[in-house]
């Protein structure tokens, strides 16, 4: 599954929102799933697992257009709740399946 990973240093599960921060290509923006309210978690996972969520290259763009149970854009809710964190791309591994982990920094280098 796209956009799913873990923080290498803590092993926390994360959802990748932006693979690069504008002007900071060595950093990314993620959301730790364990820190979410049930509403934010369910809304985020629903979009993540959707065809639209899996086809996009930037999940945050879709999350800005989709709403949570409270009627607020999911991305806005995550931001206002302080749930979006900046991490070094070197500290994030994408885990598209249970047996694969690829450092985001390697993916970003390949794309560049």
Q: Name the residue range of residue 74's domain.
A: 4-111
Neighbours of 47 (CB within 10 A): 23
The pLDDT tens digits of the residues spanning 10-31 come to 999 999 999 999 999 999 999 9
How far apart are the C-alpha atoms of 47 and 51, rounded to whole Å?
Answer: 8
- What pLDDT is recorded for position 73? 95
Task: Report the number of distinct structural domains present in the chain.
Answer: 1
DSSP characters for 8-73?
Answer: TTT--EEEEEESSBTTBTTEEEEEEGGGS-HHHHHHHHHHHHSHHHHH-S-HHHHHHHSB-TTSSB
Report pLDDT for 42. Answer: 93
The answer on pLDDT for 97 being more than 90 is: no
Write out pLDDT tens, residues 54-72.
999 999 999 999 999 889 9
pTM of the predicted protein model: 0.93
């Amino acid at each position: 599954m796209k956009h799913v990973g873990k923080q290498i240093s803590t092993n926390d599960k994360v959802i990748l929102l932006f693979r690069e921060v504008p002007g900071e290509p060595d950093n990314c923006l993620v959301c730790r799933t364990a820190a979410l309210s049930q509403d934010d978690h369910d809304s985020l996972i629903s979009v993540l697992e959707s065809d639209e969520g899996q086809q996009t290259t930037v999940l945050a763009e879709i999350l800005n257009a989709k709403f949570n149970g409270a009627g607020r854009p999911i991305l806005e809710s995550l931001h206002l709740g302080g749930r979006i964190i900046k991490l070094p791309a070197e500290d994030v591994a994408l885990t598209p399946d249970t047996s694969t982990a690829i450092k985001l920094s390697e993916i970003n280098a390949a794309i560049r």
